[in-house]
Amino acid sequence: MNNNKDMPGALADFCERLREGLKKGDGDALSMIEKTRLLFPELSLNRSLFQNVLHAVARGEAFPDISYPTMFDSEIILFNDPERYFTMRLFIWGPGQYDPVHDHNAWGVIGPVSGHLEVINYDRADDGRTEGRAVLRERDRMTIAPGEDYYVLPLNAGIHRTGNPSEETIVQVSIYGRPSVKRDFINGFDPENDRVYPIYGPKMKKRKLAVEALEHFSR
């Protein structure tokens, strides 16, 4: 999905400069994160850019393509780099709305465009050998404002939860790097019940449902 021709000029310029910066990196996650964080405040503090993007979403314009399937309902893909160096996503959080505790397959840099974003980080305390079981311990939590950012690492090093602690709708922008593992899911966690479960994207979820249905047909 790349409707680049419909992107606002400022966003297209940012993506081009970020791509060129990441191309010069050595591929190490921390190195790529550092290069992204150098440019990130320029993006997250551009309120007029995101105000225009939100107007486009409300009007159903070609960009961004809100019909493109995403992992979470509040998520909108703004850019998928054709060379797969990164993807940029917008999240709109209603009052008190949070995503489930989860990990990622790639490094990421996230931050609010409006309002304050709460980030809760976890460490995994079990050895991961028991399928479906995960024991988490909350490591820390923070609230960040526009111009500030937070980064995540892949898999168990980046288990976290983000959301909106306020009574107003807020907007978050996230940049994720090239996946470091080949999985068609991310892990979701239920800390209260020591559970871990796969979260599939819409396409894979439908394929899994079809496989389950076929098992019943064969009986």
pLDDT given at position 3: 53
Distance CA 209, CA 3 (A): 30
Distance CA 176, CA 210 (A): 30
- With a pLDDT cut of 70, the percent of the chain lying above it is 97
pLDDT given at position 217: 83
pLDDT given at position 41: 97
Q: With cut-offs at 50, 70 and 90, classify the pLDDT of residue 122.
A: very high
Residue boundaries of the structural domains of the chain: 4-217
Pick the CATH number of 4-217 from 1.10.1130.10, 1.10.10.10, 2.60.120.10, 3.40.50.720: 2.60.120.10
Distance CA 90, CA 76 (A): 5
The label of the residue with tokens 């964080």 reads 37
Write the CB contacts of 93 (distance below 8 Å, at least 6 apart in sequence). 74, 117, 163, 164, 169, 170, 171, 172
Q: With cut-offs at 50, 70 and 90, classify the pLDDT of residue 176.
A: very high
pLDDT, tens digit, 9 for 90 and up, residues 55-88: 999 999 999 999 988 988 899 999 999 999 999 9
The whole-number average pLDDT for the span 158-166 is 97
**Residue from 110, 108, 92, 111 nearest 157 by CA:** 108
